[in-house]
Structure 1
């Protein structure tokens, strides 16, 4: 009898929330144990998946009875292509237990001279899926043609070619939903449940929320600034 293959992690994400469990360098929350507890809290609250930075945290999250797909990324640097910038970074995340690898799929050159398609092929060969983080509709369409399994609006407003903005880029969500066959993930500046629902209405398959749920330092700073005369 042929064993039944497990369902794709994408099946669990439709219409659901993904929580980004990360903390910036120097933040008191940037501790592996703390981030794992954050992921477990997200699971308890109803998240369908978690988005986690760095192989160590990915491995610890996957091993900590977090029965959710782990979307792994590896931020290396803070300029240019720094979200899972090379094939080496991507494969380290697969080895750590990431079901999905998130990587920059903008048109900018990658530091190892590879292409996004090279990264996709390597991750697929290792048994993982790839989430393409893009800033524009053209980049999303190109990422889909290069084999991305999901396309996310993560870099809208943060990369060249996309306008700076303070609200979620629902226009990009809608444009991608009209033009790619793979699931579209809304990510970036989603601060309320109403904005998350609006992203689904615009055509997103799933919604990623980070700061509004998992960033007490940034949220405290926001409230403190609001009380400053």
Structure 2
């Protein structure tokens, strides 16, 4: 029986769960809908509560293969007039939703968006026109609290260490979790994402206040993991 979106998004299903980010960089042999869908299915079969996917094509492929999966969807798009790239525009939000995402992840930092689009307006349209659940990818406590006030259902530390204001910092954002959990509404799901490289760190994030964790590179990042091993071995033998 296919689980409803409401069941997939229930607090009981999400609490203390692992969401696997199943993505592959441009040019990777892994960046194929069938490969992404297979990795997503393997993750779900082994206990992941959901998957985080990039691009409507990959979202659609996983939804077809795993119809009852919890899918957090996004679309990475680059534009010359903005450094925001995670589902930056209304068109991208609509495409991610239409592809079958349960939750739409979008950049909710204070940075200027492409084409002058405004975060507040995008959140309002997504909630009223689509009825979509939203995950705010943020880089600070301030931006996390603002995103929740604007209507985002989830707050994730995804962009800590990846924005201009936090470039000097390294994820995971364990130190953001406690103040966020203390100040966010109880109904807002707090997600730790970024830099979680082991099960021990994932558990630390939960103990630190996160409701769930997202792990990507450490599980599905074949390209980055293999390259890192090779670089380390080369340094040891030089």
Q: TM-score, normalising length from structure 1?
A: 0.93
Gaps of 5+ in 1: none
The alignment status of 1:128 with 2:132, answered yes or no, reads yes
Name 2:222's counterpart in structure 1: 216
The alignment status of 1:199 with 2:200, answered yes or no, reads no
Which piece of structure 1 moves more, 203-212 or 169-178?
A: 169-178
Name 1:38's counterpart in structure 2: 39
Name 1:15's counterpart in structure 2: 16
Distance of aligned partners of 1:77 and 1:120 in 2 relative to their CA distance in 1, 3 Å threshold: same
**Are the counterparts in 1 of residues 140 and 160 from structure 2 also a CA contact under 8 Å?**
yes
Q: Work out which of the residue numbers 120, 123, 132 in structure 2 matches 1:117.
A: 120
Which piece of structure 1 moves more, 139-148 or 154-163?
A: 154-163
Name 1:139's counterpart in structure 2: 143
The alignment status of 1:89 with 2:89, answered yes or no, reads no
Q: Work out which of the residue numbers 110, 116, 126 in structure 2 matches 1:107.
A: 110
Name 1:54's counterpart in structure 2: 55
Gaps of 5+ in 2: none
The CA distance in 1 between the partners of 2:223 and 2:90, in whole Å, is 32
Distance of aligned partners of 1:46 and 1:25 in 2 relative to their CA distance in 1, 3 Å threshold: same
Cα offset, 1:63, TM superposition: 1.4
CA RMSD across the alignment:
1.7
Distance of aligned partners of 1:117 and 1:8 in 2 relative to their CA distance in 1, 3 Å threshold: farther
Query: How many corresponding residue pairs?
Result: 226
The alignment status of 1:148 with 2:152, answered yes or no, reads yes
Name 2:73's counterpart in structure 1: 72
Cα offset, 1:126, TM superposition: 1.1
Which piece of structure 1 moves more, 10-19 or 128-137?
A: 10-19
Name 2:163's counterpart in structure 1: 159
Structure with higher helix content: 2
Cα offset, 1:68, TM superposition: 1.7
**Are the counterparts in 2 of residues 184 and 206 from structure 1 also a CA contact under 8 Å?**
yes
Name 2:26's counterpart in structure 1: 25
Cα offset, 1:185, TM superposition: 0.4
Which piece of structure 1 moves more, 61-70 or 143-152?
A: 61-70
